[in-house]
Amino acid sequence: YEHCWKDIMITKIISSCQTGVDRAALDFAIEHNIPYGGWLPKGRKTEDGILDLKYKLQEMPTGEYSKRTEKNVLDSEGTVIVSHGLLTGGSALTREFAQKHGKHWIHIDLKELTLNQAAERLLHWIQEEEIEVLNVAGPRARKDPDIYSKTVELLKLTFIEMRQ
């Protein structure tokens, strides 16, 4: 997919590998040979247990989720937060960190947009803000059981199908 990436400039996807949106982003990156990274809490803890070592992420010195959230925002040029509806919990905190540190961010609300509209909006934002390192965040699978599959579909539409 090398040719697909040149004009949209993404060189790396960052996420924390929590279940849901974060894991979807990393699985998408791995499947499509896109460089990826990110931070996760000490002990590699996620809502479904200790994260598989196949995910090459860096461990924080602390188990606090908020610290890794902030580090992922800081290590990227822009953050997309994907959800069905309003941002709450860790997703709202991600937005706060992006605002606090003057980082680009966009909320893609899949309750308000079709997947095609969402992909168009995300692609336009990435081009407009010249994002190269993209942090992908959003709710856990427990809070939104459909968010994993919808996020994978959104990323496929944005980075592969719209580029052909």
Which residue has 């942090």 as its token pair?
A: 135
CB 108 within 8 A of CB 82: yes
* Residue 67 predicted with pLDDT over 50: yes
Segment 3-9 shows an average pLDDT of: 53
- What pLDDT does 134 receive? 98
Strand 36-37 versus strand 133-137 pairing type: unpaired
**Predicted confidence band of residue 1 (pLDDT cuts 50, 70, 90):** very low
**For residue 90, what is the enclosing H or E element?**
helix 89-100
Segment 138-161 shows an average pLDDT of: 94
pTM of the entire structure? 0.94
CB atoms near residue 161 (< 10 Å): 12
Q: What are phi and psi of 135, to 5 degrees?
A: -90, 130
Segment 135-162 shows an average pLDDT of: 94
* Residue 3 predicted with pLDDT over 70: no
Burial of 130 (0-12, 13-18, 19+ CB in 10 A): exposed
Helix axes 147-159, 21-31, angle to 10 degrees: 40
